[in-house]
């Protein structure tokens, strides 16, 4: 039994629009699980040394709900294109390179290092269709001590010549991958990942749905990202009332264990099902703006009690830096509010902080400093950002969230254990 006692300025979201500021608070944890957070030093732990964080900010780590690790090298390229052009010109050719395990090693070292650096200690990741590369990514994440869901992508139609698998290959590789992936649990786990409806035949979707049911697996995919994509799905699936139904039909929406990225053009029936199934929406504003996809109605989703968090979506989004995603969440929400003449309000800073650190609760009970939760946190030295003068804790948090990056993070902790800087080659 290991006990830890930490002292500092604890800041965390209690609810979507409520923040708790435990200035100069004592946090007691046992075996990496939080026991209490109190104003005074708790009794019964006299012999315990206090880990002192002084005037730093202590916040929950970020959760990145949607990113394509195999698009990492394309960050910032071709962003003046629209989704489907950009996929063909930049994305598919780059993803095809992950047939080479050496290339995969090199790139994933960088991805893991950046996730660590930016404090995104939990993430949900698309790999490529390659089994071996996907396992390399899982190994690297596991070695870095990061917590993640990783999916081997399934795609057996409408893809680029260099990036295609047959239905049989896709399934065989998925099964083999799932078997090998077991050794990285529970820190790094597999997630079933049909790329999106246009990329998967009904046969493949059917088989994946059976796998989800049999093995109790989670699912991630894309939903309602652009009107063009929605139209395409309608053509491909004339028997489905909407895009989401094309997943539902095949059992690909497991209760509370599904992530759908984007969700910009949801119809009312889709929103109803998203809510009933407690499907987590990965809001990806950087990508949605770069590619001119549109703006999701995040504030409405949040206020309707839906599960929603943030995703960097590299390389539709240009960076893994969660502060960039946070800025873009704010900015796109303010533009949407303007469009609705401020009858819909912009997201508040607190709501954005909640989404960035709770991640729609996809990872279960974590993302706050409440008893029973794992002791996960980032320590932030924000002196260089704020300069002279007094600021409240919440103002300091705003400046870190809007101006900071990984540079201010001095310590990254999951379940009471500090994650050391992962090795990588520049």
Kindly list the residues in this chain that would bind a copy of itself in the complex (CB under 8 A): 73, 75-80, 82, 106-107, 110, 286, 289-295, 318-319, 324, 327-328, 330-332, 334-335, 337-338, 342, 346-349, 383-389, 395, 398-399, 401-403, 426
Q: Which is nearer to a copy of itself, 213 or 338 (CB)?
A: 338
Instruction: Provide, rounded to whole angstroms, the least separation between the CB of residue 206 and a copy of itself.
Output: 34
Integer CA distances (angstroms), 394 to 11, 21, 183, 267, in order = 8, 8, 41, 36
Burial environment of residue 405 by CB neighbours within 10 A (0 to 12, 13 to 18, 19 or more) = middle
Instruction: Provide, rounded to whole angstroms, the least separation between the CB of residue 271 and a copy of itself.
Output: 21
Q: Which is nearer to a copy of itself, 201 or 324 (CB)?
A: 324
Q: Report which secondary-structure segment, H or E, holds 7.
A: strand 3-15
Q: Which is nearer to a copy of itself, 185 or 423 (CB)?
A: 423
5: β partners: 28, 50
Instruction: Provide, rounded to whole angstroms, the least separation between the CB of residue 310 and a copy of itself.
Output: 16
Integer CA distances (angstroms), 334 to 13, 281, 296, 327, in order = 21, 19, 12, 11
Q: Report which secondary-structure segment, H or E, holds 208.
A: helix 202-215
Instruction: Provide, rounded to whole angstroms, the least separation between the CB of residue 119 and a copy of itself.
Output: 17
Q: Which is nearer to a copy of itself, 222 or 278 (CB)?
A: 222
Instruction: Provide, rounded to whole angstroms, the least separation between the CB of residue 70 and a copy of itself.
Output: 13
Q: What is the secondary structure of 277-307 as a DSSP string?
A: TTPEEEE-HHHHHHTT-----HHHHHHTT-E
Q: Which is nearer to a copy of itself, 158 or 319 (CB)?
A: 319
Q: Which is nearer to a copy of itself, 31 or 231 (CB)?
A: 231
Beta carbons within 8 Å of 395's beta carbon, 6+ residues apart: none
Would you call 331 helix, strand, or coil by DSSP?
A: helix
**CA distance linking residue 328 with residue 318, whole number of Å:** 11
Instruction: Provide, rounded to whole angstroms, the least separation between the CB of residue 285 and a copy of itself.
Output: 9
């Amino acid at each position: 039994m290991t006990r830890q006692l930490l002292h500092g300025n604890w800041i965390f979201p209690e609810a979507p629009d409520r923040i708790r500021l435990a200035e100069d608070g004592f946090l007691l944890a046992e075996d990496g699980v939080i026991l209490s957070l109190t104003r005074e030093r708790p009794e019964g732990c006299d012999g315990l040394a206090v880990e002192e964080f002084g005037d730093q900010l202590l916040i929950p780590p970020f959760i990145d709900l949607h990113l394509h690790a195999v698009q990492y090298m394309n960050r910032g390229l071709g962003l003046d294109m629209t989704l489907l052009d950009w996929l063909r010109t930049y994305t598919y050719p780059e993803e095809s390179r992950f047939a080479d395990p050496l290339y995969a090693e090199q790139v994933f070292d960088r991805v893991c290092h950046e996730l660590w650096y930016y404090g995104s200690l939990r993430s949900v990741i698309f790999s490529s269709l390659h089994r071996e590369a996907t396992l390399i990514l899982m190994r690297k994440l596991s070695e870095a001590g990061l917590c993640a869901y990783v999916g081997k992508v399934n795609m057996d139609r409408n893809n680029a010549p260099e990036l295609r698998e047959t239905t049989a290959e896709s399934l065989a590789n998925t099964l083999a991958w799932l078997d090998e992936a077991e050794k990285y649990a529970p820190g790094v786990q597999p997630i079933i990942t049909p790329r999106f409806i246009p990329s998967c035949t009904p046969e493949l979707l059917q088989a994946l749905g059976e796998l989800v049911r049999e093995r109790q697996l989670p699912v991630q995919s894309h939903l309602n990202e652009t009107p063009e994509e929605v139209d395409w799905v309608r053509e491909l699936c004339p028997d489905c009332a909407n895009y989401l139904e094309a997943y539902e039909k095949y059992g690909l929406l497991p209760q509370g264990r599904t992530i759908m990225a984007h969700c910009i053009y949801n119809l009312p029936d889709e929103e109803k099902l998203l809510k009933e199934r407690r499907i987590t929406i990965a809001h990806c504003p950087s990508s949605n703006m770069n590619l001119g996809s549109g703006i999701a109605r995040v504030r409405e989703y949040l206020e309707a009690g839906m599960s929603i968090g943030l995703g960097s979506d590299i390389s539709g989004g240009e960076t893994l830096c969660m502060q960039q995603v946070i800025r873009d969440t704010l900015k796109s929400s303010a533009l949407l509010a303007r469009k609705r003449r401020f009858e819909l309000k912009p997201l508040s800073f607190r709501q954005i902080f909640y989404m960035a650190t709770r991640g729609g609760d996809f990872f279960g009970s974590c993302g706050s400093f409440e008893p029973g939760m794992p002791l996960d946190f980032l320590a932030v030295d924000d002196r260089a950002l704020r300069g002279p003068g007094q600021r409240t804790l919440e103002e300091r948090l705003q400046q870190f969230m809007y101006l900071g990056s990984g540079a201010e993070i001095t310590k990254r902790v999951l379940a009471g254990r500090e994650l050391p800087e992962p090795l990588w080659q520049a």
